[in-house]
Structure 1
Amino acid sequence: MKILMLPDYSRNNPYQQLLAAALQKMGVDVILCNFRVLPLLRSVWAYGRPDILHLHWTDGFIIAGSWPKTIVKTLRFLIEILVIKILRIKVIWTVHNLSNHEKLKSNYENFVVRLLIHLYDQVIVHCLSAQKAVIQTFRLSDRLISSINVIPIGHYLDCYENRVTQEEARISLGYREDAVLFLFLGIIRPYKGLLELIDAFRKVDNPQAKLLIVGNPSNDITRKELLNRCQADSRIGTRLEYVPQNEIQVYMNAADITVFPYTDILTSSSVLLAMSFGKAIVVPRIGCIPETLDAQGGLLYDPSDTGGLSNALNNILASDLGAMGRHNRIKVENFGWDKIAKMTLDVYYKSINNRK
């Protein structure tokens, strides 16, 4: 079986590489593709006719900055999908987000996706909550509902180096042994709630508490806003740049608590990453997160509660952070890639055997 998987976003998240590697162990030929112009057809031209075209983040195929470019992109993508279907290549879409994170032309994107989803042979979501959200958002008929398959995101155990001790990590970053370190790690975009996190952390009444924000801002405006807000509290540190994979262990192992204050999210690889490093977690109770993380592994707060995040930051300081981290490290083993690859392979066969 031959699979073309696109777009290739593995530079920022090894999710696709891990899935592809697990599928390849089962004898599936998986190729990650990333052509900018006519990405679907050029992938088929470059690598040969596949059995399945497995799409992931599709907003980049639909949305552009201006309306004329958006219309051109959409029509081109629709034509590509139709040609792929004429070639009798099956199309599977994994839903990572209901719309692009910046909510750019989101109503239009929703309309286009509602049309396109009729052309997909199978759809994969990462949890039951996501399944419900997809059904409601895109107003799926009973026939389309039957094509939705729930497959969780896998863990990141053994994906990154993990040899640095907490003492070594803190020395390299300049933190004292007695500090209680909160960490945000990831690409910095508005929907990740960093400005809200800074305001909430300033209400943490503990001089030993520190907050470290690590990641590359999506634009200069976000960077400037973040730096200006951080100046209000000397306990907050930043490293606003791309983090090489071999340095992720330093930040994760230095931290006591990871915090991901999303204002909007469907699925979160960051939560799986923190669990893989055995960290306590503060995160909102939205999307797939409650089906991944439980109360024994962190504090899940109500994002609609204006004091929810600050209360969670304060309350988790009274918890057994080591026990939370150990619980997460054990629980994350349930999200093994071999199991996820088998579930994905079942969906591939389901699409091939379906005459749609």
Structure 2
Amino acid sequence: MTDDDLTLLLMSGSWYPENAYMTLLADALREAGVDVRTPPLPLFFPLTRAVLANRDADAMQLDWIYDYYVTTGTGFGPANALVSFLRAAAFLVDLALVSLLDVGVVRTVHNERHHEGLYPRTERVVNESVFAVADAVTVKCGAAADAVAAAYRVPEADEMDVVPDGSFVAAYENDVSREAARRDLGIDDDAFVVLFFGLIREYKGVPDLVEAFAALDAPDAELWLVGNPHDDRTEAQVAALARGDPRVETRLEFVPDERIQYFLNAADVLALPYRRILNSGTAHLGLSYGRPVMAPAIGCLPETVPPENELLYDPSDADGLAETLRRAYDHPDLESIGRANHRHARSQRWARAAAALTDIYRNAADGRRRRDRSTRATDSR
């Protein structure tokens, strides 16, 4: 590796080729001069096989570790658990082999734990093994470093590199006006629209939002629940809750990229009532569309939104969500919050993230090679 050459294996790139985060990151790294490769990930020993197929690689980035072992599709819970355990064991062998090869390993932490809490003991072993092998660990904010350090034995908070994401402004179309978006969706111009957007999962607190919205005495308010439910049980639960209030509209389905702007631009506020969260791509999406974001002050959210977004609430306050919803409804100038959010989003540059990550990859690769040379020298004595 010369001062100018750096080859990176972006290990989740082939799994998530249309993921906005992955696309924006890969593009920014390539613009920074990094040779980014997204190797296919076979079922057995994907890490080792990726390195052996790319012997000139300097570093690899590991993102969503669960994909390497979590299994849910057998239709039988004990079988899922057994297959997940066996896959996790194979992944740990794969990880051990990679630790012997001449490539730096960088772990990027997106979640503190699996969102559905699947196989917590296996998850702890896998995560701590990855942390132990990794030459660098990156997180999105200081709060994430503290959370990861508190949850696992390694690494310490000051050993992690904080690299905030850029914005999603360039990722999605945004040329439909509020009026046109509302016309398309059949929303009255004077309605107050609260939007939940994204994959609907238990930890995102959609039932809590429906309950808080039911307490909002505002006939002109509408709550839109838009996104694909994680499973049939979640879909049935949300549909049943929505039937209890005629002001609640649902679009329980996947939303293609070209339709995202209609829902975001039609909304007055984006509500993200997470029960637990570390990072939120949907919050970044809301900022990129200039929407006020209502959410709990947990994880990276306080560091994601600007100070003008005065709609974060204390999650330990049982009435926090309902009171913030009322505050948003009564707010005299939500548009000013939206403008501040959009300015903040535009200031978040992927080029800045790519520059920081390039240094991290390079240092990880150099550190691994120094240790390998030291080990070989010791062995030869």
TM-score bracket, shorter-length normalisation: over 0.9
The residue correspondences of 1:137-286 to structure 2 (distance < 5 A) are 137-140=151-154, 147-286=159-298
Q: CA deviation at 1:196?
A: 0.9
The aligned counterpart of 1:104 is 118
Paired with 1:243 and 1:173, the residues of 2 have a C-alpha distance of: 13
Would the aligned equivalents of 1:121 and 1:147 in 2 still touch at CA under 8 Å? Answer: no
* Rounded Cα–Cα distance in structure 2 between residues aligned with 1:37 and 1:44: 15
Partner of 1:283, secondary structure, is strand
Query: Contact 2:59/2:362 (CA < 8 Å) preserved in 1?
Result: no
Deviation of 1:145 (Å): 5.0
Q: Return 292-301 or 215-224, whichever deviates more.
A: 292-301
Structure 2 distance, partners of 1:193, 1:295, is 24
TM-score, structure 1 length as denominator? 0.95
Please give the secondary structure, in 1, of the residue aligned with 2:23.
helix
CA, structure 1 residues 108+80, in 2 after alignment: closer, same or farther (shift >3 Å)? closer
**Which residue of 19, 24, 30 maps to 1:24?**
30
The 1:176–1:28 alpha-carbon spacing in structure 2 relative to 1, beyond 3 Å, is: same
Letter in structure 2 aligned against 1:269? G
Bigger Rg, which one:
2
Given that 1:186 and 1:270 are in contact with CA atoms closer than 8 Å, whether structure 2 keeps it comes out as: yes
Which range moves more in the overlay, 159-168 or 44-53?
44-53
Structure 1 residue 352, shift from structure 2 partner: 1.8
Match of 1:332 in 2: 345
Amino acid at match of 1:98: E
2:336 alignment counterpart: 323
Q: Secondary structure at the match of 1:116?
A: helix
What is residue 113 of structure 1 aligned with on the other side?
127
Gaps of 5+ in 1: none
The question of whether the paired residues in 2 share the 8 Å contact of 1:62 and 1:109 is answered with: no
Counterpart residue type for residue 69 of structure 1:
V
Q: Assess if the C-alpha contact under 8 Å between 2:226 and 2:253 holds in 1.
A: yes
Describe the shift of the 1:215–1:48 C-alpha distance in structure 2 as closer, same or farther (beyond 3 A). Answer: farther
The question of 1:128 aligning with 2:142 is answered yes
Structure 1 residue 7 displacement after superposition: 2.2
Q: Percent identity?
A: 35
Instruction: Give the conservation status (yes or no) of the 8 Å contact 2:148–2:157.
Output: no
Counterparts of 1:259 and 1:57 in 2: how far apart (Å)? Answer: 25
Q: Structure 1: which amino acid aligns with 2:10?
A: M
SS, match of residue 183 in structure 1: strand
Q: Deviations over 1:183-215 (max 9, x none)?
A: 111111111111111111111111111111111
CA distance in 1, matches of 2:318, 2:90: 43
Q: Render the CA deviation track for 1:321-345: whole Å, top value 9, x for unaligned.
A: 1000001011112311011111111
Tell me whether 131-140 or 216-225 shows the greater mean CA deviation.
131-140
User: Per the alignment, do residues 40 and 152 of structure 1 end up closer, same or farther by CA in structure 2, a change over 3 Å counting?
Assistant: same
| Counterpart-to-counterpart distance in 1, 2:37 and 2:283 | 27
Shift of 1:112: 2.8
Contact 2:136 / 2:360 at 8 angstroms: preserved in 1? yes
1:227 corresponds to which letter in structure 2? A
- CA deviations 1:288-319 (Å, max 9, x no partner) are 00011144124111112211111111111122
> Does the Cα contact within 8 Å between 1:63 and 1:109 map onto a contact in 2?
no
Q: Which of 7, 10, 13 is 2:12 aligned to?
A: 7
Give the alignment partner of residue 79 of structure 1, picking from 93, 96, 115. 93
The two structures have a TM-score, normalised by structure 2, of 0.89
* Number of matched pairs: 354
Q: Equivalents in 2 of 1:250, 1:44: separation in Å?
A: 42
Kindly provide the CA deviation profile for residues 240-267 of structure 1, in whole angstroms up to 9, marking residues without a partner as x.
1111101111111111110111111001
Which whole-Å CA distance do the structure 2 matches of 1:312 and 1:146 have between them? 34
RMSD of aligned alpha carbons: 1.7
Partner of 1:297: 309
Amino acid at match of 2:357: T
Measure how far apart 1:270 and its partner are. 0.8
- Give the C-alpha shift of residue 100 in structure 1: 0.8
1:342 partnered with 2:349: no
Aligned-residue offset at 1:11: 5.5
Shift of 1:46: 5.1
Looking at structure 2, the residues matched to 145 and 260 of structure 1 have their Cα atoms a distance apart, in angstroms, of: 27
- Answer yes or no: is 1:58 the counterpart of 2:47: no
